[in-house]
Chains A and B, each alone.
Chain A
């Protein structure tokens, strides 16, 4: 490409990127501004020293200190990650390597549920968990992950294990390893890539999830950060923008951190499976 074309390319792409990021950057700056400076102010430049007070007042603006909600989000997200890692890899190994009756049927079920929309089972699940007295606990949000209901990950791990040379696990069994020990000592170390993808996406989805957390968590003490900050949208609440943006940023921070640390896994995961 000619020099001038390269410069034009950079200018165009940069302008687009700036437009995409502008609202986000504006939110960051606004969270550090006094309230009267926020509406109508397009500048990304802080006129005075950053006002950290917004974080302090936002922290205490809701029914509980914001730490309670962050902790709840953390418990739910970590629980979901652990559940998916264990259950989906176990199922993936069984489908990829073991021959047993009903294997084809099982794989068929996995694929059939790949595209099953969540809302068609959601109401019935709610009825079930509510009869068991588990509404306002984390069980409805975490337990399904320990039961490998996220077929995407089961399928992804199954496909990955199929690509591993069988000689490796055969060799392990020659050394007297049973199938389950082979799984833990041979397969698990070899499937770190799909496990990382599983962990990253499970975390992002669970942390960012709103619908199911809104339905299951209605008491203040169990609310997650996503459910809690939704209170800022309450038309009756006279919320200031500064504290609201401050807390909104706190809930986005983990997503941003995971994004910067695990870009490779994210891109690989999206490219191979089409996840968001």
Chain B
């Protein structure tokens, strides 16, 4: 209650009520002013476009001409669209391989760096840096060279007598190369793990040591169970992020998801439909299908978490 410190609190009941409603009105006015931008944003930038995109997903619309109602045609087309299915498959592999691999490295390094030795802070910063840079166009350009035909990786392989493959031109390897870049950015989940590791009570480890548990057993029986909420958190967050990856696929290969659509991430396909072919209706339908898929995955994770996520309380 905001009026408890009001000096007039001992006045007669009616006066107090008047005062309070005056306060409420003042708060309402202040809230209206302070929340006006947010409210305009909700209506104009979030909720409005959200509904609008649902509407245009039932139309044929190229921005220049006016939308033409076609019912469920876009969704029917999506069912039979081989490139869309390929894009979904590519995105699933990218997310379901890249994210767990990234989290394994993140957890490993967080545990290794969970020491009070000199230099730990600097090491942590170094491991963190790539995750800040990884999504940029500049790093994708670098990665293009590193995994190019005569790039760094193949030069190293050449020195040990192996003829390197075309990492970004071989349909079997291009997506793997993109995943590698994703794994390289394990720094941000690592920082989250590091913060969580500091919360693990020291006495648990001491008790385990007394019982004769080695470091591996301690990790498996103490660290891992206590970290499951954070693993879950990182998993959800990184999966949602991975489903929105775009820059790497756009820059590192030919920009169209090649070779042979092997790097056609769903955002890239959406971009092509909306902003190269200007098929706004179909692009919106794809976006909604994607929302349903990502929503289903999140829901699945939330349901299964009861089986493997350990909550203290």
Which of A's residues lie within 8 Å of B, judged by CB?
1, 6, 9-10, 12-14, 16-17, 20-21, 23-24, 26-27, 39-42, 86-87, 90-91, 93-95, 98-101, 103, 106, 109, 113, 115-128, 130-131, 144, 146-149, 154, 166-167, 170-171, 174, 178-180, 183, 204, 208, 210-211, 214-215, 226-227, 229-230, 232-235, 241, 244-245, 248-249, 251-252, 255-256, 259, 263, 266-267, 270-271, 274-276
Contact = CB atoms under 8 A, between A and B. Distances in A.
A115 B298 contact: yes
B246 A210 contact: yes
A127 B63 contact: yes
A118 B244 contact: yes
Contact of A170 (B5, B61, B159): B5
**Most chain B C-beta atoms within 10 Å of own C-beta, residue among A41, A93, A125:** A125
A122 B141 contact: no
Contacts of A124: 48-50, 52-53, 56, 284
The 10 A-B residue pairs whose C-beta atoms are closest, nearest first, are: A147-B41, A179-B30, A124-B49, A248-B138, A271-B195, A124-B53, A91-B38, A148-B38, A121-B49, A100-B31
21 contacts: A10-B119, A13-B113, A41-B155, A87-B38, A90-B37, A94-B35, A100-B31, A106-B35, A106-B38, A121-B49, A123-B53, A123-B284, A124-B50, A126-B280, A210-B135, A215-B271, A233-B255, A248-B138, A248-B142, A251-B136, A251-B137
A113 B251 CA distance: 29
B92 interface: no
Given A42-B152, A124-B56, A117 B40 contact: no
Contacts of A10: 117, 119
Contacts of B194: 271
B45 interface: yes
B50 A148 contact: no
A23 B142 contact: yes
Contact of A121 (B53, B117, B252): B53
Contacts of B5: 167, 170-171, 174
Contact of B141 (A86, A98, A248): A248
B137 A116 contact: no
A59 B244 CA distance: 31
B53 A120 contact: yes
Given A94-B38, A180-B34, 9 more contacts: A90-B38, A100-B28, A100-B31, A121-B46, A123-B284, A208-B133, A230-B251, A255-B132, A263-B125
A210 B123 contact: no
A91 B35 contact: yes
Interface string B114-150: 0101010001011111111101111111111110001
Contacts of B32: 100
Contact of B136 (A94, A116, A130, A255): A255
B78 interface: no
A115 B126 contact: no
A252 B138 contact: yes
A252 B195 contact: no
Contacts of A127: 52, 56, 61, 63, 280
Please report whether the interface of chain A is mostly helix, strand, loop or mixed according to DSSP.
helix
Given A42-B152, A120-B50, A226 B137 contact: yes
A211 B38 contact: no
A263 B47 CA distance: 35
Given A106-B35, A117-B240, A249-B138, A233 B251 contact: yes
Interface string B10-54: 000000000000001011101111110110111011111110110
Given A127-B56, A270-B192, A113 B46 contact: yes
B284 to A, nearest CB: 5
A145 to B, nearest CB: 9
Contacts of A20: 126-127, 129-130, 184
B43 to A, nearest CB: 9
A275 B130 contact: no
A108 B288 CA distance: 22
A276 B131 contact: yes
B287 A123 contact: yes
A100 B38 CA distance: 15
B237 interface: yes
Q: Which of A10, A99, A130, A215 has the most CB of B within 10 A?
A: A99
A39 B150 contact: yes
B137 A13 contact: no
B274 interface: yes
A87 to B, nearest CB: 5
Given A113-B46, A123-B56, A211-B246, A23 B141 contact: no
B74 to A, nearest CB: 12
Given A101-B28, A147-B45, A123 B274 contact: yes
Contacts of A215: 271, 275
A225 to B, nearest CB: 8
B233 interface: yes
A227 to B, nearest CB: 8
Given A87-B38, A99-B27, A211-B247, A252 B50 contact: no
Nearest to B108: A16
Contact of A208 (B119, B135, B233, B275): B135
A215 B246 CA distance: 12
Given A94-B31, A130-B63, A123 B191 contact: no
